Amino acid sequence: MPGIAENLLAVRASIDAAERKASRHPGSVSLLAVSKKCLPEAVREAFAFGQREFGENYVQEGLEKIAALADLPINWHFIGPIQSNKTRSIASAFAWVHAIDRLKIAERLAEQRDPALPPLNVCLQVNVSGEESKSGVTPDELPPLALAVAALPNLSLRGLMCIPEPTEDEILLRGRFRLLGALLADLRRLLPHAPLDTLSMGMSGDMSLAVAEGATIVRVGTAIFGARPRKVDQSL
C-alpha cells in the first residue's frame, strides 16, 4: 500500500491538475493535511515530505500533538466545532480557526489571544446546505457576524468555510461551493479593508470540485493518512 509520501504526491498532483483545468494560477490552492486521529509520527513523516499546514478537530488531541511536535515549525489549524470552555487553549496554540459560527466564540478567542502573538486567522463557517444538524450560520446571518468579528482585536477575518452534505451529486456540490464563493465576494464589498482571501472548502472526496469553484484551502485527511480507526463499542 502507498505510504504518506506517495499519498501526498498524489494529492498535490490532483490539486495541480484541478488548478490547471480551472485555469487557476499554479499554487493558488493550499493543502491542509487533516491529522486528527493520527499519531505524531505520521505528522512528522508528512512534514519531512514538505507538508507544513496541519488541521486538528479535537482540542486535547491537538494540544498533545502540538507539544509532541514542538520542534517542527508547523502551522496548526483548528477545524472542529468549538466549545466555550476550549477557546483559551485554541487561542493560545493555533494559528488558524476555521469554524466560527457564533459571536460569543469569536469574542472569547479575541479576548484570550495573547497580543504578543500574531493575530489569530479566522474563518466563519456557513451552513450552505441548510441542514439542521450542520453547524454554521445561514447566508442571511453571515453579514452581521462578519461585521462584528472583523471589528474584534487580535483576530484577522480571512474568509469562509463550509462542509456540504455528503453526496455524489457533483452539480449539487459545485453549487454549494459556488454559493460560498459568492458570499465571500459579498463580504469583500461589505468589508473592503479586511484581508478576505480564503475559501476553506473541499475534502478528500470533492477537492477537485472545490478547486474549480475557487477554494484556496482544501482540507484533506483520508487521502493522505488513510482511513481513521473506528471507535469500538465498549458495550459489546
Strand ranges (E), the chain: 30-34, 53-56, 75-78, 96-100, 120-125, 155-161, 198-200, 217-220
Q: What is the pLDDT of residues 160-216, one digit of tens each?
A: 999 999 999 999 999 999 999 999 999 999 999 999 999 999 999 999 999 999 999
Is residue 231 assigned to a domain?
A: no
Our count of domains for the chain comes to 1
Q: Quote the pLDDT of residue 212.
A: 97
For residue 86, the 8-state DSSP code is: G
Arithmetic mean of pLDDT over the chain: 95
Is residue 233 assigned to a domain?
A: no
Summarize the confidence of residues 59-72 as an average pLDDT.
Answer: 98
Q: Tell whether pTM > 0.75.
A: yes
Residue with the three cell numbers 471589528: 151
Q: Quote the pLDDT of residue 169.
A: 96
Q: Quote the pLDDT of residue 134.
A: 86
With contact defined as beta carbons under 8 Å apart, do 8 and 46 qualify?
yes
The C-alpha cell at 22 is: 480551472
Q: Looking at residue 79, which CATH number applies to its domain? A: 3.20.20.10
Is residue 33 assigned to a domain?
A: yes
What is the domain extent for residue 56?
Answer: 4-225
